[in-house]
């Protein structure tokens, strides 16, 4: 059954062309002063038109599915660390990756192996340090232009604020070359505001805001790096080597361990790494773990010129893969790191001839060699504690009062429209007399449950066709975009209004196709996915069984979860927030 029309409303009958003309004004109104928060881009942001409309509500059915095993090499964002979710349990994530050389064969020192032999000169390359480095995702947003990024600015809307309380404003410190985060830049015991001879000992210092860390950033943890005796294939032999080889969250690292390269207890540092030397550039903040120098000396540098380093294929078979695992957290910390920029940095010395001296002098030179992360890398994700009984009850219900969504080894929800076939046929009968203005699914956050379990809400939800795994028509046709977000009319953002939090997803064209074009009333699938920063198609990953369904790759890397009011709330106070299909229309007869 559905509720035929409620009170009239005023809304425009807008098509995509009208949207493209109006959207710059609407976005200016909706996105001003926002930081990952979006006002509702519904009919209310458009100029009022004298078209009287009505609203009808239709019930929906929801079925949950827990994600137990999922493909983790379909997206670019990988997890490392430990996540504790009071609803979904504790999950541990590790990373497996290939590494590759810049050139084949590589050259260490100033001469390649053949030249060293022909000239009878041994450069004696000797490793001094080896580091595994994985950069943090960072930003340097400076909203007020005072030279101090938001993360360190006491008032990022006022360039004259004094963040280090030394009597000198941030913007004046920028112009003077002093440090706006240090009240005594030169360390002589006199505050910058009273010091007439301050000199900055580190004028090139850069500050970074660290993104995508979830949990206690000050936690201590153990990091273990291991060489694996497992060859990572790029292409899948089960699909005639025409598709990418899938790797799954339940990959067993222990089965393939060959040699341990590091076992260190660390605590993250968020300072840039200072590199000494003329023209040397400092490194952005990163996870940095010292590796076994003897391994790289014997298995890498001492084999310069060996056949194993002559081609990429031979090198991949020789070095195969590495795992990065974490354990013994003082408190949970999950890290989304920039694994595409992961490197093994090898610092070494070598002998060189100073031919300008007479006689020729042998000198020591310093250099480094960088081994880059390969294309193929993926996360393993294991649930180390079970999901909560509350989540089990939600997932098991055939008429759920609540909807639960989670990233990683979380859950998705399948939404069926028009279980009552008669309701759909009745709506189709009105297709010549009803002008469909807008159709939405609105998911109201169950704030009590979210607060009770301490959940971190995602910035966005994604709704797609559960049969084809493709985006619905409204997503595909929405070309709206800002510098950092896309698909603004389609929606799915976290919104707030009168102490209510909700996500509204527009399915107007999807409904029109069902009603007016007899398109298949396919089930829809809902998942957390955070942001879609571009107009590119949403990357999908196999979940549980490749023949059953797929979920967005960003769902796997989103360490967030949420609970919404379902279609069958048992709490009378939530009845007005229950999930239902809202259809706004104009009766043209």
Nearest alpha-carbon partner for 192 in 176, 207, 205: 176
In three-state secondary structure terms, 488 is coil
Contact 340, 133 (CB under 8 A): no
Give the dihedral sign, CA 238/241/243/247.
Answer: positive
Predicted pLDDT at 301: 95
Instruction: Please state, in angstroms and as integers, the Cα–Cα distance from residue 168 to each residue in 156, 180, 226, 504, following that order.
Output: 16, 8, 50, 46
Question: At 2, is the pLDDT very low, low, confident or very high (cuts 50, 70, 90)?
Answer: very low
Q: Spell out the SS3 assignment of 303-328.
A: HCCCHHHCCHHHHHHHHCEEEEEEEC
Name which residue leads in pLDDT, 276 or 384.
384
Question: At 238, is the pLDDT very low, low, confident or very high (cuts 50, 70, 90)?
Answer: confident
Question: At 277, is the pLDDT very low, low, confident or very high (cuts 50, 70, 90)?
Answer: confident
C-alpha 347/C-alpha 362 separation (Å) is 20
In three-state secondary structure terms, 204 is coil
Residue 43 has pLDDT above 70, yes or no: no
Residue 290 has pLDDT above 80, yes or no: yes
Predicted pLDDT at 589: 66
Element (DSSP H or E) covering residue 392: helix 389-396
Residue 249: CA count within 13 A, CB half-sphere? 28
Name which residue leads in pLDDT, 242 or 301.
301
Tell me which of 20-34, 340-354, 438-452 is least confident.
20-34
Beta strands in 50-170 (DSSP E): 52-58, 60-66, 78-85, 89-100, 126-135, 137-139
Question: At 531, is the pLDDT very low, low, confident or very high (cuts 50, 70, 90)?
Answer: confident
Question: At 22, is the pLDDT very low, low, confident or very high (cuts 50, 70, 90)?
Answer: very low
Burial degree of 349 (CB within 10 A; 0-12, 13-18, 19+): middle
Residue 433 has pLDDT above 90, yes or no: no
Instruction: Please state, in angstroms and as integers, the Cα–Cα distance from residue 362 to each residue in 108, 112, 122, 123, 261, following that order.
Output: 17, 18, 11, 10, 33
C-alpha 310/C-alpha 316 separation (Å) is 11
Tell me which of 354-368, 411-425, 450-464 is least confident.
354-368
The whole-angstrom distance between residue 27's C-alpha and the CA centroid of its chain comes to: 24
Q: What is the mean pLDDT of the segment spanning 533-548?
A: 78
State the residue for tokens 């023209």: 279
Buried b (16+ CB within 10 A) or exposed e, 50-83: eeebbbbbbbbbbbbbbbeebbbbbbebbbbbbb
Helix, strand, coil percent content, the chain, rounded in steps of 5: 20, 35, 45
Q: What is the mean pLDDT of the segment spanning 418-423?
A: 92
Predicted pLDDT at 548: 61
pTM comes to 0.86
Q: Which residues pair with 324 in a beta bridge?
A: 95, 225
Q: Where are the alpha helices (DSSP H) in 15-164?
A: 16-31, 113-118
Nearest alpha-carbon partner for 129 in 297, 259, 299, 305: 297
Predicted pLDDT at 484: 75
For the chain, what is the mean pLDDT? 87
Question: At 545, is the pLDDT very low, low, confident or very high (cuts 50, 70, 90)?
Answer: low
Tell me which of 138-152, 240-254, 360-374, 427-441 is least confident.
138-152
- DSSP assignments along 100-133, one per residue: E-SSSS---SSS-HHHHHHTT-----EEEEEEEE
State the residue for tokens 């093994």: 344
Nearest alpha-carbon partner for 427 in 579, 566, 581: 581
Contact 125, 348 (CB under 8 A): yes
Which backbone phi and psi does 335 adopt, to 5 degrees?
Answer: -115, 125
Question: At 407, is the pLDDT very low, low, confident or very high (cuts 50, 70, 90)?
Answer: very high
User: What pLDDT digit, counting tens, does each position of 126-157 carry?
Assistant: 999 999 999 999 888 778 787 787 777 787 87
């Amino acid at each position: 059954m559905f509720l035929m029309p409620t009170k009239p409303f005023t809304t425009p009958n807008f098509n995509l062309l009208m949207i493209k003309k109006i959207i710059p004004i609407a976005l200016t109104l909706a996105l001003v002063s926002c930081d990952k928060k979006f006002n509702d881009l519904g009919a209310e942001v458009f100029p009022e038109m004298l078209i009287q409309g009505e609203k009808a509500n239709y019930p929906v059915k929801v079925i949950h599915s827990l994600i137990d095993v999922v493909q983790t090499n379909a997206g670019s964002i990988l997890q490392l660390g430990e996540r504790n979710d009071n609803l979904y349990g504790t999950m541990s994530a590790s990373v497996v990756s290939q590494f590759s050389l810049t050139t084949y064969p590589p050259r260490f020192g100033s001469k390649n192996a053949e030249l060293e032999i022909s000239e009878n000169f041994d450069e004696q390359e000797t490793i001094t340090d080896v580091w595994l480095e994985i950069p943090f995702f960072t930003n340097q947003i400076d909203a007020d232009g005072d030279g101090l990024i938001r993360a360190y600015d006491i008032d990022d809307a006022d360039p004259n604020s004094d963040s280090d309380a030394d009597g000198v404003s941030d913007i004046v410190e920028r112009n003077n070359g002093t440090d706006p985060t240090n009240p005594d830049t030169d360390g002589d015991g006199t505050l910058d505001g009273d010091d007439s001879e301050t000199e900055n000992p580190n004028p090139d210092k850069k500050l970074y805001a660290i993104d995508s860390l979830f949990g206690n950033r000050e936690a201590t943890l153990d990091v273990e790096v291991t060489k694996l005796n497992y060859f990572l294939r790029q292409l899948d032999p089960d699909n005639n080597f025409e598709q990418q080889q899938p790797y799954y969250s339940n990959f067993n690292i222990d089965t393939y361990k060959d040699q341990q390269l590091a076992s260190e207890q660390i605590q993250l540092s968020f300072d840039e790494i200072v590199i000494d030397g003329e023209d040397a550039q400092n490194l952005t903040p990163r996870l940095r773990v010292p590796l076994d120098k003897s391994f790289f000396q014997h298995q890498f540098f001492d084999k310069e010129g060996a056949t194993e380093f002559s081609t990429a294929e031979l090198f991949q078979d020789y070095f195969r893969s590495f795992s990065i695992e974490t354990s013994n957290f003082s408190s949970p910390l999950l890290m989304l790191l920039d694994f595409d920029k992961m490197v093994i940095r090898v610092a070494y010395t070598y002998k060189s001839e100073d031919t300008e001296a007479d006689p020729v002098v042998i000198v020591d030179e310093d250099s480094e060699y960088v081994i880059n992360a390969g294309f193929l890398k993926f996360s393993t994700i294991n649930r180390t504690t079970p999901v909560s009984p509350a989540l089990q009850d939600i997932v098991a219900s055939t008429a759920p009062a609540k909807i639960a969504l989670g990233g990683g080894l979380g859950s998705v929800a399948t939404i069926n429209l028009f279980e009552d076939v008669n309701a759909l046929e009745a709506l189709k009968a009105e297709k010549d007399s009803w002008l469909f203005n807008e159709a939405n699914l609105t998911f109201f956050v169950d704030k009590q449950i979210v607060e009770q379990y301490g959940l971190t809400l995602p910035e966005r939800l994604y709704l797609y066709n559960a049969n084809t795994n493709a985006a619905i028509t409204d997503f595909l046709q929405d070309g709206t975009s800002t510098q950092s977000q896309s698909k603004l009319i389609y929606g799915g953002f976290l919104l707030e209004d009168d102490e209510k939090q909700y996500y509204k997803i527009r399915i107007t064209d999807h409904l029109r196709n069902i009603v007016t074009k007899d398109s298949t009333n396919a089930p829809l699938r809902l998942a957390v996915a955070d942001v879609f920063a571009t107009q590119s198609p949403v990357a999908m990953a196999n979940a549980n069984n490749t023949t059953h369904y797929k979920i967005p790759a960003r769902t796997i890397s989103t360490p967030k979860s949420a609970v919404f009011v379902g279609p069958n709330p048992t709490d009378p106070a939530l009845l007005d927030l229950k999930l239902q299909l809202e259809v706004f229309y104009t009766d043209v007869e």
